[in-house]
Chain A
Amino acid sequence: GENVGLHLPTLSVQEGDNSIINCAYSNSASDYFIWYKQESGKGPQFIIDIRSNMDKRQGQRVTVLLNKTVKHLSLQIAATQPGDSAVYFCAENTGRRALTFGSGTRLQVQP
Chain B
Amino acid sequence: EVQLVESGGGLVQPGGSLRLSCAASGFTFSNYWMSWVRQAPGKGLEWVANIKGDGSEKYYVDSVKGRFTISRDNAKKSLSLQMNNLRAEDTAVYYCARGVIGDCWGQGALVTVSS
Our verdict on whether A and B bind, yes or no, reads no
A contacts, CB < 8 Å to B: none
B contacts, CB < 8 Å to A: none
